[in-house]
Amino acid sequence: MHISWKKLAIALAILPFVVVLAAWIGFFNVGASSGHWKITEWFLHLAMRSAVRTYALAVDVPEALPRHAIQPAAGHFARGCAICHAAPGEPRSPVVMRMLPQPPDLAGTVGEWSDAELFRIVKHGVRFTGMPAWPTQERDDEVWAMVAFLRELPSMDEATYRDLAYGERLGTAAGATETLPQALADCARCHGEDGFGRGPAIPVLAGQSEAYLLESLRAYAEEGRASGLMSLPAIAAGPQLWPDLAKHFAALPATQPGGSGDPALVRRGKEIAERGVREANVPACLGCHGRQDRSPLYPSIAGQPAPYIETQLGLFRAGKRGGTRFGHLMANAAKGLIDDDIRALAAYFSRSAAPSATATR
Ligand code: HEC
Ligand code: HEC
Ligand code: HEC
């Protein structure tokens, strides 16, 4: 067949206008009731899977998934994901079943994806589907915690899930956070009734300086401190409840740190805490954190879980840990730390007793 190149060129040139005209007169049905055409569905799936696969190539996968942080990830899943994706014992709502595309029950589908692919989907979300991105792009550690949780999901029974996501006060916190008792029940899902934290990824709130707790809640809600896990509960509680929440946790008795660590590591940590690392411009930590007359915005570090301390120091060093208006002081202090210092400091502070000094309030 003889093709007239000229005619073909003209046809191609006017095609975009035809498509726009068709869209303008309402030719394309954007209603979700009738589903996609088979070909559209095929194409969208192909595009989504291929994009995830390709972008996942650039993801740096950690040696081991952070299983120690599964608890807060489960707590977040219960509020931020289960409504669309179901959870053990909690089916998707009938409303969600009519979404297009329908969010899958993840217990049945996570096996189809690699760790890097899950990371990519959870961090960035999926356009045109309603699947949201992680609330902050600064916290890869939190996204990995969610991936670690998702890996366990297919084999997780209802009791285990409910314990991880809701803790002891099963059912009392049905999502509402309007009154102080409701908000406290929400906090307890991750921080425990005693404020000690339900696992090593959670900071101890019990006995912490009230001013620091209050300003930290504000920082999470106003994005001065990036955390997808904490921004949701801080915003849900709201500024009118923050002062009472801070007062409540500050008044609880502090933890009694215990356990033995590698003595050499603890010794090295103590040395840095007391004297700093002169050649790397690391100041003595206790110069700020150990003083009785310190500002109430300098938190107590003693007795915090080692993994939590390590994460926070890593974030400060990378310039990703905001905080209160004094946060920049700490970012400076952490700049010169190497990984071994961080491990040693975490070992030392997690085992040292909370300073009898409650800072001046
Ligand atoms: C508003 C509903 C909604 C919420 C909330 C939501 N998602 Fe999704 N998610 C979706 C939809 C819709 C898809 C399907 C995308 C597709 O098929 O292309 C999806 C896809 C996924 C996938 C890929 C699964 C697969 O097999 O296709 C993962 C993993 C996932 N979501 C994890 C999460 C996590 C973790 C959260 C909470 C942090 C979350 N989602 C919150 C709607 C949601
Ligand atoms: C889904 C789990 C979860 C819930 C629910 C939760 N938290 Fe948190 N909280 C965390 C995690 C994880 C962190 C550490 C976040 C980070 O890396 O900055 C944290 C950190 C904090 C901090 C900062 C402490 C410090 O030492 O810097 C405060 C204050 C806090 N939470 C208060 C609350 C209050 C008050 C509530 C209830 C309204 C609450 N949290 C609910 C998981 C949770
Ligand atoms: C100049 C004073 C100063 C020095 C020196 C200092 N810090 Fe801090 N540190 C702070 C302040 C202020 C904060 C609170 C940051 C914020 O606003 O959230 C903080 C926060 C922290 C936190 C986070 C606590 C939490 O609950 O999230 C850790 C961990 C910490 N410091 C450890 C150290 C270590 C280890 C050293 C020594 C290498 C050190 N700090 C030196 C002022 C200091």
pLDDT interval class at 354 (50, 70, 90): low
Q: What is the mean pLDDT of the chain?
A: 92
How many distinct helices (H) and strands (E) make up the chain? 17, 0
Given a cut of 90, whether residue 31 has pLDDT beyond it is: no
Do 51 and 160 sit in the same domain of this protein?
Answer: yes
Asked whether residue 135 is assigned to any structural domain, the reply reads yes
User: What is the whole-number distance in angstroms between the Cα of residue 103 and the centre of ligand 1?
Assistant: 6
CATH number of the domain that residue 286 is part of:
1.10.760.10
Average pLDDT over residues 158-187: 84
Q: Ligand 1 centroid to 143 CA: how many Å?
A: 13
Task: Please check whether residue 113 lies inside any domain of the structure.
Answer: yes
Atom 36, ligand 2: residue with shortest CA distance? 187
Nearest ligand 2 atom to the CA of 141 is 17
Please state the φ and ψ torsions of residue 84, each to the nearest 5 degrees: -95, -35
Any domain includes 148: yes
Quote the ligand 2 centre to 163 CA distance (angstroms): 18
Q: Are residues 67 and 92 in the same domain?
A: yes
Full domain range(s) for residue 60:
41-166
Q: What percent of the chain has pLDDT over 70?
A: 96
Question: Would the CB of 84 count as within 6 Å of ligand 3?
Answer: no
Whole-angstrom Cα distance, residue 310 to residue 316? 10
Q: Longest C-alpha distance within the chain, in Å?
A: 92
Backbone phi, then psi, for 87, in 5-degree steps? -150, 165
Q: How far, in Å, is the centroid of ligand 1 from the Cα of 129?
A: 8
Mean pLDDT of 155-172: 85
CA of 219 from ligand 1 middle (Å) equals 28
Burial (CB count <10 Å: 0-12, 13-18, 19+), residue 207: buried
Q: Fill in the amino acid letter for 246.
A: A
Question: What pLDDT sits at residue 349?
Answer: 95
Picking from 228, 251, 274, the residue at the C-terminal end of a domain is 251
What is the mean predicted confidence (pLDDT) over 346-353?
92
Confidence class for position 207, pLDDT limits 50, 70, 90:
very high
* 267 within domain boundaries: yes
pLDDT at 107: 95
The CB of 342 under 6 Å from ligand 3? The reply is: no
Please indicate whether residue 211, judged by its CB atom, sits closer than 6 Å to ligand 3. Answer: no
Pocket lining: 286 vs ligand 3, CB cutoff 6 Å: no
Cβ pair 171, 157 in contact under 8 A:
no
Q: How many distinct structural domains can be found in the chain?
A: 3
Domain boundary among the residues 251, 283, 311 is at: 251
With a 6 A CB cut-off, is 299 part of the ligand 3 pocket?
yes
Q: Which ligand is nearest to the CA of 336?
A: 3
Domain boundary among the residues 221, 251, 281 is at: 251
Which ligand is closest in space to the CA of residue 198?
A: 2
**Are 224 and 309 in a shared domain?**
no
Determine, yes or no, domain membership for 201.
yes
Look at residue 168 in the predicted model and tell me its pLDDT.
75
* Confidence tier at 360 by pLDDT (50, 70, 90): very low
Say how far apart CA 247 and CA 59 lie, in whole Å: 41
Task: Residue 351: name the closest of 247, 257, 232 by CA.
Answer: 257
Looking at residue 1, what is its pLDDT? 60
Q: Does residue 279 fall inside a structural domain?
A: yes
Check pLDDT > 70 for residue 173: no
- pTM, whole model, 2 decimals? 0.94
- Mutate which of 289, 310, 324 for ligand 3 pocket (most atoms within 8 A of beta carbon): 289
Average pLDDT over residues 32-46: 89
The verdict on 313 and 336 lying in the same domain is yes
- pLDDT of residue 130 exceeding 80, the answer is yes
Say which residue the tokens 């003889």 belong to. 2
Instruction: Determine the atom of ligand 3 nearest the C-alpha atom of 325.
Output: 17
As a whole number, mean pLDDT of residues 219-233 equals 96
- Cα dist from 96 to 73, 130, 176, whole Å: 22, 11, 21
| Lowest-confidence segment of 258-267, 291-300, 338-347 by average pLDDT | 258-267
In a domain, 11, yes or no: no
* Residue 337 and residue 231 share a domain: no
Is the minimum distance from the CB of 355 to ligand 2 under 6 angstroms?
Answer: no
CATH number of the domain bearing residue 104: 1.10.760
Atom of ligand 2 nearest to the CA of 214: 29
Given this model, what pLDDT does residue 355 score?
54
Shared domain check, 270 and 316: yes
Q: Looking at the structure, do residues 151 and 236 belong to the same domain, yes or no?
A: no
pLDDT at 241 over 80: yes
**Is residue 138 domain-shared with residue 116, that is, in the same domain?**
yes
Task: Tell me if 118 CB under 6 Å of ligand 1.
Answer: yes
Q: How confident is the model over 41-84, as pLDDT tens digits?
A: 899 999 999 999 999 999 999 999 999 999 999 999 999 999 99
Task: State percent of the chain over pLDDT 90.
Answer: 84
